[in-house]
Structure formats: structure tokens, C-alpha cells
């Protein structure tokens, strides 16, 4: 059986939209009706008429689609976890909030902002406290808007993103639990991180600069602040794509983000900024067989609850509030 041909046939037969994140393996990515970054995908899905959405990505992304399109049946061939998103849940959120309170900062002086890479339950907590969601492409303006409240920003879950945007705004940051003075900080960061983007180092940058003196370095803001400081360009996934595709063909560039995406950008003069393969293991869990099985389950009216995304009504309500506050900025 040719899985690609069977998937194409099922897509034509069914009332379904196949969606894939940039980090998916190539054979899955190329069959998708909609491709993009996490929030971008959720917004595009809202504009479709399909009853079913088969989403190839990680769990928090599927939840965002369900929150924003509650009437659609959202299925994931593999409900893979994002390691960063799993670093925080409602309990850890509350524990860290208490540590901030214990440092002399009451809740009324805290405005939480969560990166899109978080569960619907964490987004709901943020929404209940008057906070909002951000992405790596809009974090700058979301944090600026949040600071207008006169409150300290509690940024979850990615410490690197929080630190990097604090630097870009000439603000002070601190990380909960690392011994720094939280009261002195404008942005208080939860101690989470992306395991893929932690693989890039200043040593990697120096290696490429020594090898190719005219090379450019472009990285994602989930990288460590020291890496971002040493780079020529720092941007979100979509910003990296736009920046790199606009370069002259003969311009060499080393890119610090996920392997599969970088590999699709240009056919030459593009390098991975790492001595190891920076591949997101959970993003790569979804196979063509998984996609076929999910589509076939729709056709056979035999959808597994293990593949369907469910978000409780109350969680969806407050998570949507946090998302909508972002859209208003």
C-alpha cells in the first residue's frame, strides 16, 4: 500500500483539513493542506469549513485549535508532548506564584503572560488573572502592553524568551528559584526551556565565524541569551523564514532552530548551527502511517478517543480570553 496515495484519496473523500507544523518530518509536511507555526495554524483552521481537523504537531497546539474552533472535531495522529509545555501545569504555576508572593510581590501587582507553548489549562490560569498569551513573533509588543499596567510580568514557561525580550526592552529580568532578587525585576521568568534550542552555543557560532568569516548567524529567541547576543538576527520561526529567503543566494548563513525546518529553507549555503542534529523528537513522532490511521478512523466512523482533543468548557472559556487579549493588542 502506498501510504501517500491512500492519504490523498482519503483527504478527497472526507470533510477534513490536514494541518502540519513547520517542524514535522518532510513526508508528513508535504501532504498538509495548511502549514505554519502554532498560533498561525490555529487561526487558519478557524477560516476552514471542515468538520474534522487532523493536526500534526504537539498537544498544546491541538488544544489551541480546539479552544479557537470548539465546533470542530480536532484529531491528532500522535498527541505528542512539547517538553517545554510539560514543564508547567496549574500546580507549578501556583507554586511559582507563591514564591513570587513570598518575595513580597502580591498577586495584584503581577500580570502573567504565557508563551503559546503551554497547555490550555495554563492559558486559562493566565486568563483568570487578567493576563494574556504571546508568541515569539509578537512577545515584544505583548510585554510592552502588559507593562502599561504598572505590574510586574510573570512570564511562563520559557525563561530564555522572557530574558531575551527583557534585554531587547532594556528591562531587568529574574528567574524564579535561581536566587535572584525578584523585586528588582520587571519580568519574572518561570524556569522552563526548549530542549532543542538549548543545543546551540556561542562555541557553535565561533566555529562558523572562524570557518566562514562572512557568514551570518540567525537564531530563534528560545535560544540562550548568550547565543542571541552573539547572533546577527533573532526571530520567530516565520521571521527566520522571511529573513533567510530574502538573502542573496551566495550568502552563507548558519541557523539556530529545528533541523527539519532549516533543511527546507534553501538548497545551498545554509548550515545547522550545531554539531548535533537539533531535531524535536516529539514533533517527529507523527508518521505517514499515523496520519493514514487517523483519516481511516474518520471514514470508518471509529475515531479513537486517544486521538481526539478535549478541552473542558471552563478551561476553554478562560484560555480563549487570554488568547483574545493577545489578538486585541
**Beta partners for residue 26, in sequence order:** none
Residue 328 located in a structural domain:
no
Same domain, 109 and 75: no
Q: What is the pLDDT of residue 146?
A: 95
Same domain, 73 and 9: yes
Same domain, 265 and 223: yes
C-alpha cell at 9: 484519496
Q: What is the pLDDT of residue 247?
A: 96
Q: What is the pLDDT of residue 38?
A: 85
Q: What is the pLDDT of residue 254?
A: 97
Same domain, 112 and 151: yes
Same domain, 119 and 182: yes
Q: What is the pLDDT of residue 49?
A: 95
Residue 105 located in a structural domain:
yes
CATH number at residue 145: 3.40.50
Same domain, 59 and 75: yes
What is the rounded CA–CA span in Å between residue 118 and residue 64? 9
Residue 85 and residue 157 in contact, taking contact as beta carbons nearer than 8 Å: yes
Domain hosting 24: range is 3-81+283-310
Choosing from 225, 252, 272, the residue where a domain stops is: 272
**Beta partners for residue 113, in sequence order:** 132, 155
Residue 146 located in a structural domain:
yes
Residue 288 located in a structural domain:
yes
Same domain, 152 and 239: no
Burial (CB < 10 A; 0-12, 13-18, 19+), residue 207, is: middle
| pLDDT in 10s for each residue of the chain, 329 residues | 899 999 999 999 999 999 999 999 999 999 999 999 888 999 999 999 999 999 999 999 999 999 999 999 999 999 989 999 999 999 999 999 999 999 999 999 999 999 999 999 999 999 999 999 999 999 999 999 999 999 999 999 999 999 999 999 999 999 999 998 999 999 999 999 999 999 999 999 999 999 999 999 999 999 999 999 999 999 999 999 999 999 999 999 999 999 988 988 888 999 999 988 898 888 889 999 999 999 999 999 999 999 999 999 999 999 999 999 999 98
Residue 323 located in a structural domain:
no
Q: What is the pLDDT of residue 70?
A: 96
Residue 278 located in a structural domain:
no
Q: What is the pLDDT of residue 284?
A: 87
Q: What pairing do the DSSP bridges indicate for beta strands 216-219 and 233-234?
A: parallel
Of 282, 294, 293, the C-alpha closest to 25 is: 282
The alpha helices in the chain, defined as continuous H runs, are 3-13, 26-29, 38-46, 59-68, 83-86, 90-102, 120-128, 139-147, 159-168, 202-211, 225-230, 237-245, 259-265, 288-299, 313-328
What is the rounded CA–CA span in Å between residue 100 and residue 115? 19
Of 78, 36, 46, the C-alpha closest to 59 is: 78
Same domain, 29 and 72: yes
Q: What is the pLDDT of residue 250?
A: 96
Residue 318 located in a structural domain:
no
Same domain, 258 and 235: yes
Residue 217 located in a structural domain:
yes
Same domain, 205 and 265: yes
Choosing from 131, 158, 193, the residue where a domain stops is: 193
Same domain, 185 and 96: yes
pLDDT tens digits, residue range 60-115? Answer: 999 999 999 999 999 999 998 999 999 999 999 999 999 999 999 999 999 999 99
Radius of gyration for the alpha carbons in the chain, expressed in angstroms and rounded: 20
Same domain, 176 and 156: yes
Look at the chain and report how many structural domains it folds into.
3
Choosing from 133, 168, 193, the residue where a domain stops is: 193
In the sheet that holds 110-115, the strands lie side by side as 132-134, 110-115, 152-156, 187-189, 173-175
Q: What is the pLDDT of residue 173?
A: 97
CATH number at residue 236: 3.40.50.10800
Q: What is the pLDDT of residue 1?
A: 83
Q: What is the pLDDT of residue 267?
A: 86
Amino acid at each position: 500500500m502506498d501510504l501517500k496515495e491512500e492519504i490523498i484519496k482519503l483527504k478527497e473523500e472526507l470533510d477534513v483539513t490536514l494541518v502540519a507544523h513547520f517542524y514535522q518530518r518532510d513526508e508528513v509536511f508535504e501532504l498538509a493542506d495548511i502549514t505554519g507555526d502554532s498560533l498561525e495554524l490555529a487561526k487558519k483552521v478557524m477560516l476552514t469549513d471542515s468538520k474534522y481537523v487532523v493536526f500534526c504537531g504537539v498537544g498544546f497546539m491541538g488544544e489551541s485549535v480546539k479552544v479557537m474552533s470548539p465546533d470542530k472535531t480536532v484529531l491528532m495522529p500522535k498527541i505528542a508532548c512539547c517538553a517545554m509545555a510539560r514543564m508547567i501545569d496549574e500546580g507549578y504555576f501556583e507554586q511559582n506564584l507563591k514564591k513570587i508572593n513570598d518575595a513580597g510581590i502580591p498577586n495584584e501587582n503581577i500580570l502573567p503572560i504565557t508563551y503559546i507553548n503551554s497547555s490550555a489549562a495554563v492559558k486559562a490560569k493566565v486568563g483568570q488573572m487578567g493576563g494574556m498569551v504571546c508568541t515569539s513573533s509578537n512577545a515584544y509588543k505583548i510585554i510592552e502592553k502588559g507593562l502599561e499596567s504598572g505590574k510586574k510580568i510573570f512570564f511562563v514557561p520559557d525563561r530564555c524568551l522572557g530574558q531575551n525580550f527583557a534585554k531587547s526592552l532594556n528591562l531587568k529580568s529574574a528567574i524564579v528559584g535561581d536566587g535572584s532578587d525578584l523585586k528588582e525585576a520587571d519580568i519574572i521568568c518561570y524556569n522552563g526551556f526548549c530542549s532543542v534550542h538549548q543545543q546551540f552555543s556561542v562555541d557553535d557560532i565561533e566555529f562558523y565565524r572562524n570557518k566562514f568569516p562572512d557568514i551570518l548567524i540567525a537564531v530563534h529567541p528560545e535560544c540562550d541569551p548568550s547565543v542571541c547576543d552573539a547572533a546577527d538576527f533573532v526571530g520567530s520561526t516565520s521571521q527566520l523564514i522571511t529573513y533567510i529567503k530574502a538573502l542573496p543566494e551566495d550568502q552563507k548563513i548558519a541557523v539556530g532552530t529545528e533541523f527539519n525546518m532549516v533543511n527546507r529553507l534553501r538548497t545551498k549555503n545554509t548550515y545547522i548551527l550545531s554539531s548535533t542534529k537539533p531535531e524535536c523528537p516529539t514533533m517527529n513522532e507523527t508518521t505517514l502511517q499515523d496520519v493514514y490511521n487517523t483519516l481511516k478512523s474518520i471514514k470508518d466512523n471509529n475515531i479513537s478517543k486517544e486521538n481526539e482533543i478535549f478541552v473542558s468548557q471552563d478551561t476553554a472559556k478562560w484560555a480563549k480570553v487570554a488568547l483574545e487579549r493577545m489578538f486585541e493588542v
